[in-house]
Amino acid sequence: MPALHPAHATRHRRKSEKKVLRSRHKSIGQPPGSLIHIGEQKVEKTEITAIGYDEKQAVTLSVGNVEECLALKERFKVLWIDVAGLHETGVIEKIGELFGIDPLTLEDILHTGQRPKVEDFERYLYLTLQMLDFNQEHGEVGHEQLSVVVGPGWIITFQERPGDMFDPVRQRIDSPNAKLRKHEADFLAYTLVDAVVDHYFSTLEEIENRIDLLDADLVATFSQESFNALNALKRELIMFRKAVWPLREIIGSISRDDFAVVGDLVEHYFRDVYDHVILVIDTVEVFREIVTSMHETWLAGVNNRMNEIMKFLTMIATIFMPLSFIAGVYGMNFRNMPELNLWWGYYAVLGLMLLIVFGFLKYYRSRKWY
C-alpha cells in the first residue's frame, strides 16, 4: 500500500527531477540548431528499436547502427523507429541526416521540458507531447517528453527512457489480422498519440484514487501532513494541466488542418482523440476544484476543532475559578470570620459549590456546548 505522507519525499520533493524548469545553461548563447541535450540523462545507453510491417508480415529489430534501418524502410510499407534515451546526440544527429530532419527539429527533440506543439515541415510532421505517469509512492506525476516525427512511410519516436506505454501497440502490430497493419504510417501516429492520451486517463484515475485516500484521511485527522499532501497534489495538478492544456489546440489543428502526411481518414480518428483531450482537461479542472474544496474543508475543520478546544477550556476554567475563589475566601486568616465557627459552615459551602457547578452545566447545555 502506498504511504500517504512520505515526509522525506515531500521534503526533498523538488530536488532533482521535479524542477518545473530544466536547466538551459548549456544551450544559452548557442546558435540555433545546436544539438545539445537539455534535461536529465535517464538511461545509460540509447536504445533503438525498429519495427517494420505491412499487411503480410511484421519484423522487430534491436538496432545497433542506425543505418540498418534504411534497409527496413524499403522492405516494408511502414517503418517505426523508437529511440529511448536522448543524451547520445551523435546518434540523434545521424538519424536526422538519414531521414532529412531539420536541425531546429532535432534541437527541439533534445531540449526536453518543451511545451507540446505540432509543426508541419511539408516532408514530415513534427509533434511533441508529454507522457505522464503517476508514482503512487511519492504521489508525484512523472513527466517525460515524447517527440514523434511522421514522414511518408516512416515514424520516428524519441523518448527519454524505454517505457511500456506502447506495448499494446506493439502487440497489435504483431497480431496478423490487426486493422493497424492495413493502414499507413499516419494511422500508426494516431495509434501512438491515442495510447499517450489513453494513458492520461489511467493517470487521472490514479490521481482520483489518491484524492479519495486523502479525502478519507482529511476527515480523520486535520493534520498538517494531510494538508501538505493535499497541497503537493495541487501542484501536481497544476503541472498536469500545463502539460495537457496545449494539446487542445494541437490535436484540434491536426484533425482540422490539411497536413501533408495525415490522410482524411486519420484526421477523422484524431477528432476522436480531440474529444478525449477535452475530457482530460475538463477532468483536471474538476479535480482542481475538488482539491480546492478539500483545502477549504481542512481549514474549516481546523477552525472547528479550535472552537471545540476553546469551548472545553472555557467550560473547565469558568467552573473551577469561582469554586477556587470561594475556597480561597474561607482560607483567609482573619480573626473575625463568623462563618468559620458554624458547625454546618463547611457543608453549606460545599453545597454552594455544587449549586454553582450545576448552574454552569445547565447554562452550557442551553448553549449546546456539550
Cβ atoms of 2 and 138 closer than 8 Å = no
Query: Of residues 42, 73, 123, 242, which one binds a copy of itself by CB under 8 A?
Result: 242
The stretch near a copy of itself (CB under 8 A) out of 43-51, 62-70, 153-161, 204-212 is: 204-212
- CA angle (347 as vertex; 341, 351 as ends), nearest 5: 135
* Total of chain residues touching a copy of itself, rule CB under 8 A: 116
Instruction: Decide: is 297 part of the binding site for a copy of itself (CB under 8 A).
Output: yes
Cβ atoms of 202 and 285 closer than 8 Å = no
The stretch near a copy of itself (CB under 8 A) out of 81-89, 145-153, 231-239, 255-263 is: 231-239
Instruction: Decide: is 135 part of the binding site for a copy of itself (CB under 8 A).
Output: no
Instruction: Decide: is 195 part of the binding site for a copy of itself (CB under 8 A).
Output: yes
The stretch near a copy of itself (CB under 8 A) out of 19-27, 44-52, 65-73, 250-258 is: 19-27
Instruction: Decide: is 317 part of the binding site for a copy of itself (CB under 8 A).
Output: yes
Least distance CB 219 / a copy of itself (angstroms): 7
Query: Of residues 235, 248, 252, 361, which one binds a copy of itself by CB under 8 A?
Result: 235
Distance CA(146)–CA(157), nearest Å, equals 7
The stretch near a copy of itself (CB under 8 A) out of 53-61, 88-96, 135-143, 303-311 is: 303-311
The stretch near a copy of itself (CB under 8 A) out of 61-69, 80-88, 109-117, 254-262 is: 109-117
Instruction: Decide: is 180 part of the binding site for a copy of itself (CB under 8 A).
Output: yes
Distance CA(8)–CA(12), nearest Å, equals 6
Instruction: Decide: is 121 part of the binding site for a copy of itself (CB under 8 A).
Output: no
- Compute how many other C-beta atoms are within 10 angstroms of the C-beta atom of residue 279: 14
Cβ closest to a copy of itself, residue 88 vs residue 120:
120
Instruction: Decide: is 224 part of the binding site for a copy of itself (CB under 8 A).
Output: yes
Helix or strand or coil: residue 198? Answer: helix
Instruction: Decide: is 26 part of the binding site for a copy of itself (CB under 8 A).
Output: no
- Give the burial class of 340: count Cβ atoms within 10 A of its Cβ; 0-12 exposed, 13-18 middle, 19 or more buried: exposed
Q: How far out from the chain centre does Cα 305 lie?
A: 31
* Distances, alpha carbon 36 to alpha carbons 5, 29, 31, 32, 245, in Å: 38, 12, 11, 11, 27
Letters for 334-363 (x = contact with a copy of itself by CB under 8 A, - = none) are: xxxx-xxxxxxxx--xx-------------
Instruction: Decide: is 32 part of the binding site for a copy of itself (CB under 8 A).
Output: yes
The stretch near a copy of itself (CB under 8 A) out of 21-29, 42-50, 78-86, 251-259 is: 21-29
Instruction: Decide: is 199 part of the binding site for a copy of itself (CB under 8 A).
Output: yes
Query: Could you give phi then psi for residue 129, rounded to 5 degrees?
Result: -145, 175
Rounded to 10 degrees, the C-alpha dihedral 340/346/350/352 comes to -50
For residue 145, what are the β-bridge partners? 130
Instruction: Decide: is 36 part of the binding site for a copy of itself (CB under 8 A).
Output: no
Distance CA(347)–CA(122), nearest Å, equals 104
Distance CA(356)–CA(160), nearest Å, equals 75
Query: Of residues 3, 238, 354, 355, which one binds a copy of itself by CB under 8 A?
Result: 238
Cβ closest to a copy of itself, residue 133 vs residue 215:
215
Distance CA(101)–CA(117), nearest Å, equals 16
